[in-house]
């Protein structure tokens, strides 16, 4: 009896899994789920922990054993989706950026979106001019430390904060000036609201870039925003397509297709190549979900989407949540006392630190920066073919931060703009976290430039973004050699067309053969099967048999006899 109870308890323990979810303020939420628990169950637990009602904007992100990022699907089992060994580690992030974050009903929702955009700014996903960067940083400063106090904030106090991948002394002085003179008296909630209003006006608001290449082999980054589909090359937005102009999203292998229908019935097909088929499928699913969320009026209009080759099933996917309009209508009905918000304040963060004591960009001599750049290139060559499957942790985040982490690829402003008056395109977005190990820097840089995603531990430690295309151009031809080529796109298109035509011919011939075989069985065989007997007794079949099939058979028999006699005579 005792052994039976022990075996039952051990089986129940085996069905339970520990999950750790890293939140936007870098705290962690740990829970236990059953083996068959769906993603919705875990997400509801998390939202209950956060006291969050406007939860449709958020999602849970994880990295699979092949180091490909995914959004957790709420209708499927958590364990089956992760495909990794427990304990599971995931991240809570904004999945659908609100079109107007200032219009969110509750302050707790605005605060979580503020934390996400703050991360985007730090990781280089949110690009802006110097003046806008200074204002955004000043809002963050006001929200975290309050009004300027000469007794608490000595000269140069803003230099102890890390808002961007790189910054200069001039920008630090501008941030401090705005904080001192323009934001006095603003509460944290007001500063966060003003921050959201300003961030919403930027072109790259809501951008989560996917690294790709265009048909010419040039590096590009695709992203989906509340307003449409964007393509970034360098520090410029080369394409912006509104959601009502997007008619279809499709992928085949590593190739992603976007079908666009513009005014005057002008139709365009944009083609891009992802690093791997898995990355391309993830890009396609993100596009399907964003299009459904922002474009549709009701969730009842959502349809299952298929991306398939000719006559093949391919991948099928359906967005399972509510759409933006329904979320706004539901938020307007919320009536409760505003929940208490526990702001992170001055607590340093591993992935988006409030304070870091690392030196500024200008503190490293120009000659040393070039020497470090050369050493990075040498390290990249050595790491080119190596596999980093083991998670690497940074051992410290304070004074041990190496000087060249933020300044190694700057190369004296000649090749990369460092928050200039033009578009802000930080080159260090691949290294969002101060690290003490030079090998980790090289590993992240080489892996992301090749289009690969980070490991689950790197997601937990840094939530690193993809590198900007400006960085790829800055590193020049040496980095291009590290990227996976896509061959000749024109030849690939021709080959795919030929394969499609061959598949069509084969399938057509197969269908004709099956029909001919069935016809011969019906007309010539003596099989007394109920199915065949019923068909033979129909008037239509009898008419076909006597008026068409029998004359055709006699004609073929005559031709065959004449051919045989001709061969015999010769």
pTM of model > 0.85: no
Q: Quick one: pLDDT at residue 532?
A: 75
Q: Quick one: pLDDT at residue 523?
A: 75
Angle between helix 130-145 and 169-181 (nearest 10) = 60
Q: Quick one: pLDDT at residue 409?
A: 34
Q: Quick one: pLDDT at residue 11?
A: 52
Distance between CA atoms of residues 490 and 493, nearest Å: 5
Q: Quick one: pLDDT at residue 534?
A: 77
Q: Quick one: pLDDT at residue 170?
A: 92
329-345 tens-digit pLDDT: 999 999 999 898 888 75
Buried b / exposed e along 64-99 (16+ C-beta atoms within 10 A): beebbbbbbbbeebbbebbeeeeebbbbbbbbbbbe
Tell me how far apart the terminal alpha carbons of the chain are, to the nearest angstrom.
Answer: 93
Q: Quick one: pLDDT at residue 18?
A: 92
> Residue 318 CB: number of other CB atoms within 10 A?
14
Q: Quick one: pLDDT at residue 107?
A: 95
Q: Quick one: pLDDT at residue 372?
A: 33
446 token code pair: 């080489």
Which residues are CB-contacts of 235 (< 8 A; sequence separation ≥ 6)? 127, 417, 422, 423, 424, 425, 468, 469, 470
Spans of the chain, pLDDT less than 70: 1-14, 308-314, 345-493
Express as a percent the part of the chain with pLDDT over 70.
Answer: 70
Rounded alpha-carbon distances, angstroms, from residue 355 to 155, 348, 465? 16, 6, 20
> Residue 408 CB: number of other CB atoms within 10 A?
25
- If residue 223 lies in a helix (H) or strand (E), which one and from where to where? strand 219-225
217-241 tens-digit pLDDT: 999 999 999 999 999 998 788 999 9
Q: Give, as one character, the DSSP assignment of residue 525.
A: -
Q: Give, as one character, the DSSP assignment of residue 350.
A: S
């Amino acid at each position: 009896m005792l052994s039976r109870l022990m075996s039952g308890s051990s089986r129940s323990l085996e069905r339970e899994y520990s999950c750790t979810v890293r939140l936007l303020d870098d705290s962690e939420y740990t829970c236990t789920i059953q083996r068959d628990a769906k993603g919705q169950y875990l997400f509801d637990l998390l939202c209950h922990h956060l006291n969050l009602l406007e939860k449709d904007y958020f999602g849970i992100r994880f990295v699979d054993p092949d180091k490909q990022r995914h959004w957790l699907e709420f209708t499927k089992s958590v364990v089956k989706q992760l495909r990794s060994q427990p304990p599971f580690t995931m991240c809570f992030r904004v999945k659908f950026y609100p079109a107007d974050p200032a219009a969110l009903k509750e302050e707790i929702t605005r605060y979580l979106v503020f934390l996400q955009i703050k991360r985007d700014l730090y990781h280089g996903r949110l690009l802006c001019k110097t003046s806008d960067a200074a204002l955004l940083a000043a809002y963050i400063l006001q929200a975290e430390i309050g009004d300027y106090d000469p007794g608490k904030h000595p000269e140069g106090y803003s230099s102890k904060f890390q808002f961007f991948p790189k910054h200069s002394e001039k920008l630090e002085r501008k941030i401090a000036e705005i904080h001192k003179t323009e934001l006095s008296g603003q509460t944290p909630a007001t500063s966060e609201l003003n921050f959201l209003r300003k961030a919403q006006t930027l072109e790259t608001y809501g951008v989560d870039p996917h690294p790709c290449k265009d048909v010419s082999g040039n590096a590009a980054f695709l992203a989906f925003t509340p307003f449409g589909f964007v393509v970034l090359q360098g520090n410029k937005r080369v394409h912006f397509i509104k959601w009502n102009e997007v008619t279809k999203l499709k992928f085949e292998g590593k190739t992603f297709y976007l079908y666009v229908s513009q005014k005057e019935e002008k139709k365009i097909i944009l083609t891009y190549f992802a690093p791997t088929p898995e990355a391309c499928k993830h890009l396609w699913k993100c596009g399907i979900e964003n299009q459904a969320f922002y474009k549709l009026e009701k969730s009842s209009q959502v349809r299952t989407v298929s991306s398939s080759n000719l006559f093949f099933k391919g991948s099928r996917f359906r967005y399972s949540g509510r759409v933006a309009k329904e979320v706004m209508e539901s938020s307007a009905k919320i009536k409760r006392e505003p929940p208490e918000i526990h702001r992170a304040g001055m607590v340093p963060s591993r992935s988006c630190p409030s304070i870091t004591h690392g030196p500024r960009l200008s503190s490293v001599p120009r000659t040393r920066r070039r020497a470090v750049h050369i050493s990075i290139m040498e390290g990249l060559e050595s790491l080119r073919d190596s596999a980093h499957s083991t998670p690497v942790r940074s051992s410290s985040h304070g004074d041990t931060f190496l000087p060249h982490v933020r300044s190694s690829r700057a190369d004296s402003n000649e090749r990369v703009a460092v928050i200039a008056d033009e578009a802000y395109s930080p080159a260090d977005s691949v290294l969002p976290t101060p690290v003490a190990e030079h090998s980790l820097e090289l590993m992240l840089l080489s892996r992301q430039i090749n289009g690969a995603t980070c490991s689950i531990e790197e997601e937990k430690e840094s939530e690193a973004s993809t590198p900007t295309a400006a960085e790829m151009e800055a590193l020049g031809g040496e980095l291009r050699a590290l990227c996976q080529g896509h061959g000749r796109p024109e030849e690939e298109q021709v080959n795919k067309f030929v394969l499609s035509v061959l598949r069509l011919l084969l399938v057509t011939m197969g269908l004709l053969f099956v029909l001919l075989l069935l016809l011969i069985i019906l007309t010539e065989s003596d099989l007394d099967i109920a199915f065949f007997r019923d068909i033979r007794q129909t008037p239509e079949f009898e008419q076909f048999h006597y008026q068409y099939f029998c004359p055709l058979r006699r004609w073929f028999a005559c031709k065959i006899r004449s051919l045989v006699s001709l061969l015999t005579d010769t």
